[in-house]
Structure 1
């Protein structure tokens, strides 16, 4: 990769990057001085406003693999991959009006804790343990490795393991000291840098084709400018587009602790709802700021051999000095916003789900100390594992698809658990076990060509199967006593200041606007 890219940075680029890192350090130090208790560390003292929640949701989601992977996929396969971005609005709307009311009413600290309130402790611990493993080994280590690979383009003389250590320590220390509030406040800065850098990149790429969409249409392969693809498409067949994509997003935006933690830290339900809606609106932007530049690169940079080279080449070929530093700072922001979020959420799960028991709660200061050491411990594990990912390239691709195994029973247990009081604890536990085992069998069969359906279609089928298991076992068993706070009610969801405000300030109005933006994106690139 280094042989094909002239990645020399100007002095101005280094100044921009250094300035950005300096601001991050200042934020981390400032917040760390205010972090006194476990609730401060894990949930920012439940004091987050809607703007902080929305921007942090966006920044934590945009990882290095997003910038590099989506741009490369758009270059080779077109706009279909954009669905994973703009369709995030669907699970975020579910979060705003179904799950945020339930989660905040229950006063939970982790998403697995909700499963204990609704079902049983064994359901909670099963999901929590699974989440910690996936978060540290896949998300944190994967973020470190992907970031190190891209940074090596610009600094070819530095080994991958050195980048992993440097990024991990930098993000890990301010996360361990400042907790969620440090993560969120740095995420706001990172979101702004990301949006500015990618918006400038998109503008300059459009300028490179003389601002002519007709030129792009003439030179991009047929079908690459369409989101809706045939049923046999390898990237995203149309049934998977309309059903599988948002189901996969459900795991990420509704049940994944490292994202949901921001909503749990909201000052009140209104701010949580506004934050989720803002996050959905911001997720429309990557289609235009990240994915379209990848498509336009087919016209201006037609000879790129490997898709993962597209984003670094765009930066070095298109951007002038200073702006290259800004976009590279955005890239560093993407790396750190993912790493800090996953570290903080993993420590939150360990301390709240495994080390804390009802009736034996630790002192707030002790809880903070446990969280700090847990964050540092997970940081070490991720740093050690990350460089080894380069030796498991094929396996690593499979692991990304393996998330489709994890999702279906979780969608069922959370959704039917909140909406259907008849669902039982025993049914939830065996739905998780059975759904994951069946999903694993389908995944293995898919890798050997025995079950050839695309994984986005598989996730839909397995969700229906998991729902059948859950409903059948619940109806066969005895009815449980259910905590009313763990069930959704219309009054709890819509009896908020944001939902009762005048039309233009009403969160329901803005939810309809988000829905219209998603439909508009689909129609625009149908």
Structure 2
């Protein structure tokens, strides 16, 4: 029996009530302030506290890939994919102590604007378009693709209809209230997500007979974070070297992830919010990967591992509760999509429309353009998603991670050297952004489609490829900068002021997080 055939009218009523509550929260958050929606559209009027920042960053990251693909990879390989959640704390810390103080000190609304002050208009223009394309592909289209798979499982409707339903719901929040609405609804959504996913994990552990059974009925390697160097899926060396390239880009330089930190009340709230995100990332393994491991024990003959999460839900939860889980899944989809739409709108409006075409634009005109861009971006994402849907035979989790791995190297190199090395020049940065991107994405196209790694065994792991490209581009940016003899070098206009240090409360929280994460890695290091 198909998954959608196991659902009842009560389940769909629960989903309907949830959507109405969500819309109500978004409306209340956006319009209760008589000052107007305008100042809240992009950076929430710089009013976000640490809880809103943490839940928003985590909510943006917890997309359908976390729910479907994490359970799927847990079903097939165990907790090794937890590295993509737990290893992140180092780079979230890097955001808090290195990048966020500079972003906020420079009083910028977007990261292309920040780099424009450092390297000039040419760099800002390239980065603006780079960010738009990145958000459109890696956030919107891939998220919609994974979401379409999920909605197909739940409703049994065509992919195109699933995509349209999701994009309409997400667009409502971005168009109506911007980041203020997104932040408010994310708090509600993420609390609900924690409660329901935790209930699924606990119910599953109880049904199989406890933790001892969970460990004894699975292969021993299922509980190792570091797998042997010759492991075909996730060798330890590939994770150790390759993930940092992705981590710097994803957590420190990606507009969708950094957006909520830019909307912080002050640097202390931004740093505590980043720390809170690190704590929330610990939950990824028990909430999203562990259900897949449990499903491996309960339903070992499952034909499609991508159905592990919903199989657990429909076969273990009572009527009504299944509907609540469906609501939570929709929440995760909406959270990622609306954050991405907001970032797309912000970058185009502030870095291209205002910067290049209409510097004198009124706030009303800026908001209008932002909403138009949201609609256009949503429509483009639908078509790109349908194109992705035509590609068959790819593992969803690996597709997500590999695409991010091939997007990351140029941005990681540009931001690390641009922020930390004063001798980096505009010409070097622009070269890396243009030619480095062509190289990195070109390798990705060959790896995924032209000579797919599944058919050609000469390829190294995609994370190692990402690392090799990063090293090459790092050497190249140093050489280009040191040999750049341009007479009219751009003089940076960045003014951070006095860079703040971590507050005592933030130091305590970060120290505690480091201790806990090191302990987890020691515990799950395996044999």
TM-score, normalization: structure 1? 0.92
Contact kept? 2:132, 2:347, Cα under 8 Å: yes
1:290 aligns with 2:288: yes
Contact kept? 1:228, 1:237, Cα under 8 Å: yes
Contact kept? 1:38, 1:364, Cα under 8 Å: yes
2:325 equivalent in structure 1: 327
1:381 equivalent in structure 2: 380
Secondary structure class of the residue paired with 1:194: helix
1:265 aligns with 2:274: no
1:50 aligns with 2:50: yes
Distance 2:93 2:27 in 1: 34
1:104 aligns with 2:111: no
From 478, 484, 494, the counterpart of 1:477: 484
Distance 2:385 2:420 in 1: 40
Distance 1:364 1:100 in 2: 26
Contact kept? 2:72, 2:307, Cα under 8 Å: yes
Contact kept? 1:8, 1:154, Cα under 8 Å: no
- Give the CA deviation at 1:313: 0.3
Q: Trace 1:88-487 onto structure 2 (pairs within 5 A).
A: 88-156=88-156, 158-211=157-210, 213-357=211-355, 360-394=359-393, 401-443=402-444, 446=447, 448=451, 449=456, 451-478=458-485, 480=489, 482-483=491-492, 485=494
List per-residue Cα deviations over 1:397-455 (Å, max 9, x = no partner). 65752332221121121112111211111111112233223324543554534752111
Contact kept? 1:173, 1:376, Cα under 8 Å: no
Distance 2:195 2:9 in 1: 20
Which stretch shifts more, 400-409 or 513-522? 400-409
List per-residue Cα deviations over 1:348-407 (Å, max 9, x = no partner). 111011101279241111111111111122122223443343212357865752332221
- Give the CA deviation at 1:11: 4.7
**Structure 1: 4+ residue segments shifted above 6 A:** none
Contact kept? 1:78, 1:224, Cα under 8 Å: yes
Distance 2:158 2:326 in 1: 18
- Relative to structure 1, is the Cα distance of residues 388 and 270 closer, same or farther in structure 2, using a 3 angstrom cutoff? same
Distance 1:19 1:192 in 2: 17
Distance 2:3 2:185 in 1: 30
Secondary structure class of the residue paired with 1:492: coil
Contact kept? 1:118, 1:486, Cα under 8 Å: no
Contact kept? 1:284, 1:517, Cα under 8 Å: no
Secondary structure class of the residue paired with 2:42: helix
- Give the CA deviation at 1:109: 0.9
Distance 1:236 1:257 in 2: 28
Distance 1:523 1:243 in 2: 19
Distance 1:433 1:272 in 2: 31
- Give the CA deviation at 1:38: 4.7
TM-score, normalization: structure 2? 0.91
1:500 aligns with 2:503: yes
Distance 2:412 2:49 in 1: 27
Contact kept? 1:5, 1:313, Cα under 8 Å: yes
Contact kept? 1:81, 1:235, Cα under 8 Å: no
List per-residue Cα deviations over 1:43-75 (Å, max 9, x = no partner). 111111111000111111111121000100110
Unaligned residue ranges in structure 2 (runs of 5+): none
Which stretch shifts more, 240-249 or 293-302? 240-249
- Give the CA deviation at 1:12: 4.3
Which stretch shifts more, 78-87 or 13-22? 13-22
List per-residue Cα deviations over 1:111-151 (Å, max 9, x = no partner). 11111111122222222212212322342122223222212
Distance 1:450 1:10 in 2: 47
Contact kept? 1:418, 1:486, Cα under 8 Å: no
Contact kept? 2:436, 2:473, Cα under 8 Å: yes
Which stretch shifts more, 51-60 or 34-43? 34-43
List per-residue Cα deviations over 1:220-269 (Å, max 9, x = no partner). 12412211011222321111222212321222211111111101111111
- Give the CA deviation at 1:4: 4.4
Distance 1:336 1:200 in 2: 22
Distance 1:65 1:180 in 2: 22
Distance 1:179 1:138 in 2: 20
Secondary structure class of the residue paired with 2:423: coil
Contact kept? 1:7, 1:153, Cα under 8 Å: no
